[in-house]
Amino acid sequence: MNLEIVSLNKDTYEQAVKLALEGETGNEADIRRRLKKFRQYFVALGKGKVVGEIGWYHDDGGFAGKALGKNFPYGKNIYWLGHFAVDPNFRGKGVGTALLEYLEDVIKKLGGRELWVYTDQARVFYEKVGFGFVQKAWIEECWEDVLIKKLEK
């Protein structure tokens, strides 16, 4: 599949919000707030249509810190995977892997050493692409798998 990965922008914002909502990556207010950080989010375009979206954020411990306790990773070189969704019609075609690899390159250029994620639905995918399981944690009203990927320079 021929993909173009670009920074989220005003022209792709609504499509990305719709995709994140369909992928159940959070509630609409949270999705809209996070995706407004255009420099932190990216979209995959297939024939001019948004077919995937991904982003990053920093957590100071206020969000996941209580849930992870002593395992919470503090530091400016620690990044968390933000909303990540792929159009169901494009899953299994390399879109998610391409987006994740793109994001990892961006994070490495920013000085990132680790990428963390929590998920209640995609642990197998993350483990296939090099993430390791850390623990289960009660986050956002459900049990989530928390995983980490060490990023090599």
The secondary element (H helix, E strand) that includes residue 100 is helix 95-109
Query: Would you state the structure tokens that stand for residue 29, as one six-digit string?
Result: 């207010």
Distance from CA of residue 9 to its chain's centroid?
Answer: 17
| Better pLDDT: 146 or 24 | 146
Q: Could you tell me which CATH class the domain 4-150 is placed in?
A: alpha beta
One-letter amino acid of 77 = N
Rounded-to-10 torsion of CA 124, 129, 135, 137: -70
14-42 pLDDT tens trace: 999 999 999 888 889 989 998 988 889 99
Query: Would you state the structure tokens that stand for residue 66, as one six-digit string?
Result: 């209580």
Contacts of 38-41 spanning 24+ positions with Cβ under 8 A: 38/7, 38/8, 38/9, 38/13, 39/7, 40/82, 41/7, 41/8, 41/16, 41/82, 41/83
Q: Which of 103, 48, 105, 49 is nearest to 80 (CA)?
A: 103
Q: What percent of the chain has pLDDT over 70?
A: 99
Ordered by start, the domain boundaries in the chain are 4-150
Query: Would you state the structure tokens that stand for residue 65, as one six-digit string?
Result: 């810190």
- The pLDDT value recorded for residue 122 is 92
pTM: 0.91
